[in-house]
């Protein structure tokens, strides 16, 4: 038996894959990549003779059978997934058949599009005394949300919201946040294809106008929505500073000074 590695390919830029992920590709006997979301350029480190297959037209059953078959035949198999495998990656659905077949599994984390989108906008998702909480979620569509995880319930915390797979449901984002007291002027950041070379698109707006701005730009897929009280802090005249670097704050590497 070989081993199947689930590798987070990152948000889009092939250079944002981890060193470990790149090395596993370089030593792979077979690679199955999610071509609808992962750039084929990410497979450029694959060795000569490596079998490379795009899974964008495959069902879950076809994907798992491919992985099981290659795991039985090959020493090192890589499943390249967008972002991080643990976020919206159907990871466990693919791992269970491998477990049943007695094939070893390994996971390599990747950079999420939530963090790539924040980086594209030069934004911080947390700020002292503004919010220290980041919620990664999505809007209910074909997949229902579990009890207690509706957008209005999450929005009631008034912390940072990073919303995946929801760009076509911006009207629900507006309704949910407004219902929980977010102002119409609340800043919203939308980044399509965050980090993709030559394809990244950054849209800034308010809760009131972000849907129209995205429509004007033709943004209808592969976009991260960030709603946060921290957005735009780069332009604020005054910030609450982190205690970590405050001269009056002691820690094991530095003594406080008067």
Domains in the chain: boundaries: 3-108, 113-235
pLDDT at site 257? 82
pLDDT at site 120? 97
- Comparing CA positions, the residue from 150, 121, 109 lying closest to residue 225 is 121
Identify the CATH number of the domain defined by range 113-235: 3.30.950.10
Q: Looking at residue 17, what DSSP letter applies? A: S
Three-state DSSP state, 178: helix
89-97: long-range contacts (C-beta < 8 A, 24 or more apart)?
89/6, 90/60, 91/6, 93/60, 93/64, 94/6, 94/60, 94/63, 94/64, 94/67, 95/6, 97/64, 97/65, 97/67, 97/68
Mean pLDDT per 10-residue interval, the chain, length 258 residues: 95 95 97 87 93 95 97 94 94 97 97 97 96 96 89 96 95 96 97 95 97 95 96 94 81 81
- The CATH superfamily label for domain 3-108 reads Tetrapyrrole methylase, N-terminal domain (3.40.1010.10)
pLDDT at site 100? 97
Question: What is the token pair recorded at 88?
Answer: 């919206």
113-235 has the same fold as 3-108: no
pLDDT at site 237? 95
pLDDT at site 138? 95
Of all residues in the chain, what percent are helix, strand and coil, respectively (each to 5)?
30, 20, 45
pTM of the model: 0.92
CA atoms within 13 A on the CB side of 150: 11
């Amino acid at each position: 038996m070989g081993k199947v590695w689930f590798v987070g390919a990152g948000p889009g830029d092939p250079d944002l894959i981890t060193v470990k992920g790149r090395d596993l590709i370089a030593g792979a006997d077979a690679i199955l990549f999610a071509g609808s979301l992962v750039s084929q350029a990410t497979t450029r480190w694959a060795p000569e003779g490596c079998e490379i297959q795009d899974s964008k037209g495959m069902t879950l059953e076809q994907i798992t059978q491919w992985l099981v078959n290659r795991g039985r035949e090959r020493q090192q198999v890589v499943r390249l997934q967008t972002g991080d495998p643990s976020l919206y990656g159907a990871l466990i659905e693919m791992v269970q058949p491998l477990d049943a077949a007695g094939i070893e599994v390994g996971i390599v984390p990747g950079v999420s599009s939530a963090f790539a989108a924040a980086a594209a906008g030069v934004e911080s998702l947390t700020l002292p005394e503004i919010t220290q909480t980041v919620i990664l979620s999505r809007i209910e569509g074909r997949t229902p949300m579990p009890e207690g995880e509706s957008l209005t319930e999450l929005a009631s915390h008034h912390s940072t919201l990073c919303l995946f797979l929801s760009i076509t449901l911006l009207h629900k984002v507006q309704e949910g946040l407004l219902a929980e007291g977010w102002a119409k002027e609340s800043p919203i950041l939308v980044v399509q294809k965050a980090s993709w070379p030559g394809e990244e698109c950054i849209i800034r707006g308010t809760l009131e106008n972000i849907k129209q701005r995205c429509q004007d730009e033709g943004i209808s897929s592969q976009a991260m929505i960030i709603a946060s009280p921290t957005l735009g802090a780069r332009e604020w005249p005054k910030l609450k500073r982190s205690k970590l670097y405050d001269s009056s704050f002691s820690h094991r590497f530095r003594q406080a000074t008067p």
